[in-house]
Structure 1
Amino acid sequence: MDSYRKNIQSLSLSLDEKRDSLSVFYRQFGARMLEDSVNPSRMAGALSEERSDSWRSLMSSRESDTCAVLEIRTAANRLQELLQFKKELEKTRMEDRTASMRSASVFGRFVLDHYSADPASLDFIGEASRAALEKASLCRSEIAVLLEKQEQNQLENGDNGFIGKIFLQLKNTSLSSAIKQQQMRLEGLLTDALLPVLRDEGLTIRLRQLYPSGESAAALDKAAQSVQRERDLEERAVTLESDLAQVRETLKGYEAADNSSRRMDDLRTRIRETDRKIDSLTGLSAREYSDKFLDEDGRSLLGGSGDGSGFSDMGEYAHQLEQVSRYRMEISVIRRKIEILENSLKIDSLDKNIASFEKSVHEYERKIIHYQEMIQGLSSSIADAKKDRAVCIERKTGLEEELEKFPPVT
């Protein structure tokens, strides 16, 4: 019995494998027929036009969704790269902006000296820049006055008492704060005056003519380089924003602008569902086509000699039908072998039940004979007991009658 079960288990696994292989072959065979359906003359009558249209629609949908996933993934990766680059670029621009302002301020001190000596020579820089230089000149004068006051306070510090020294210290602190504020204002004014000029290539060339060499020329070169680098970064930022807009537009076109990962998951789910429909359609097409020529056991429905499995008249897909026939026959054989073993297993089980029942019947028959013998013995004992009882009753009655004849005893 154990060997039956082991064989059944082994054959069941083999049956599952054969069925899986047949299912895979059905899908391959069906896909071949559906692909061939583009040629009506070749596939005349093999598959309905409706089924061919359904298959083409599913394949087109799958291709479209697959391309969409690839495009979204590429665009999403590109978006992350661009955003990271934008972050780095903004940081660099801030650093370069600070450097440009600093270098413009340094060069501006040379320009301010020139402006103070010969204002007319800088008429070409424009009204706004000249106005800023004028304010810078006044600011520098205010700084000079504050520095002079601070120096005088330091000289007076030694001639005052304790209270006077504290008072002068407070005045110096206030002056230092005012000087620092004015110096910051001066740097801002120089930056406002020079940055617009340095951003104009024509004006920068004229500045080079005014400062052909020396420290002023070196400061001009450094400032011009900083401004040029800032301009280059601005151009890169514009290009970057254009690239970002293009990538976002691509994602928007695929409805993935808000959450590209979720959109790709939705598309993959749809692709899996489409694949399931394609597998079902291809498998069904091949099976129905095979059923026109073969029965479930793989035998030809066209008749023929020998075992009835001739394929000479089965047309375009005779080779595929021959393979289907082989799979069906193998499945049919295995299925019958399993059924035979299952019946053998059931027969063995029934034989055991029958033997058990027969044993029980024999035991019950033996017990019946035994109980019948006991009944006969008990019946004889009952008859004897009844006879003895009748004798006892007769004796009792006689004694009672005799007793009545005696006088009462007091």
Structure 2
Amino acid sequence: MRAKPFVVRFQFSDLLQGDVEHDSQLGGVIPAISVAHLTMIGKSPFWRRRNAKRPDLPDISLSGAGPRAAGPAKSAPPRRALDSVGPRLARQDPVAMEGSDMSHVYDSLPAPIVAACEQVIEAYLTGAVPSADPRLLDTSESMLLAESAALEAVAMLAEQQSSTSNLLFADLLEDPTFAPLAPAMRQILHFLRARLAGQNPTLRLDPATPAPTLTLLLIAAQALSSAAASEDDTTASENDSAAELFAEMKTRLAGEPMDRRVPAGDLAFGLDDALADRVDDETFLRDGIRRALTGTVPVRRVLSHTAGHVLVVLDLAARPDVEDLFRLLSADPPSGGADTHVRWRMLPMPAPAMSLFRLEINWLEPVHIDLAIAFDTDNHGKELRAIACAEVVALSFVDPADIRSGRHDPDAPVITALIPAHRESLTDLLSKLEHQ
């Protein structure tokens, strides 16, 4: 056990339960994509449905035979660790982008990696057998391109449909074939929506997350497929539209991609047990901060009153599912109230005034939805103490100030969802922080 200059390590393990995990951006290796991951696509009922519409395509191989049987491409580079900065952080540096005549998304990306990523998307859209070399998808460059493609495609879907709801990704999220990818897929979708909404989200992926690059490419492909399906219901037109949208996506990536016009956010892998004891304290603390902030929605304002009422106004632009839940709870509340679980966690910081509190809410009915909110003692110290004195907390995505200013229809109801404050737990954490 390495020396501790402050108490983060010990309090963190007690108050933020769960294994400390590995961060690929800080020296780890991206989980491998295998032939099995790619042939998994061919087993999908979705793939078979598309093939039934395309008699000109060969039968899907369920055993990995076919294009992959000849072995990996000779040009495939070996898997490697990400460096301490990584291409993802490099694209946030204006100096790194200076002097480039092309989009930074494609800048310095090897052509075989670009071709492999694009082949996966094209295979999904056409119902063909994915033939990309899995090793080409096991690099930091491929993950960078995959994220940029997914972001661009989701933005195009939003332009086409005015929505990026999970219903438009049902072929992926509900297909048993993609079940191993579905948990991370939902998290990544929230992350991409948050970036497009102008937020600066954090997503700390479990180091065992399977095939994140493939997951991002499938999100991109499904977004394009959903956008194409909205244009025309006929199979031929849908295929033509998908091809046109795919071409448009590549043109946008090569020009002025969305990736350069929205906040980058922080997408990284967590520290695993092997690395947790070897990294320096700053790296360890950064991993803890990512854990505390992962998947949280921004707090716009907290209003508290002397009567003990607390209203937390949230920015739910990236969580339309939570907005829909609030509307449902308001219009047709379950008898006896919604079955809701609430949990407070705390990440103490070297400076107690900057400590982070994470409120996790789990609705079990009428639909199963999870939500996390982050507070810090510097900006929300008074509000946290007010919540510690309350029985319930009201959550809303409408700020009363918007009604007074005319930004929100004064005749429309302010929809709120009530949750238990769980004040005993919060009071205990605040007390521990005071005695740190």
TM-score by length of 2: 0.15
Q: Which has the higher contact order (CA 8 A, sep 6+)?
A: 1
TM-score by length of 1: 0.16
Higher helix share: 1
User: Which of the two has higher C-alpha Rg?
Assistant: 1
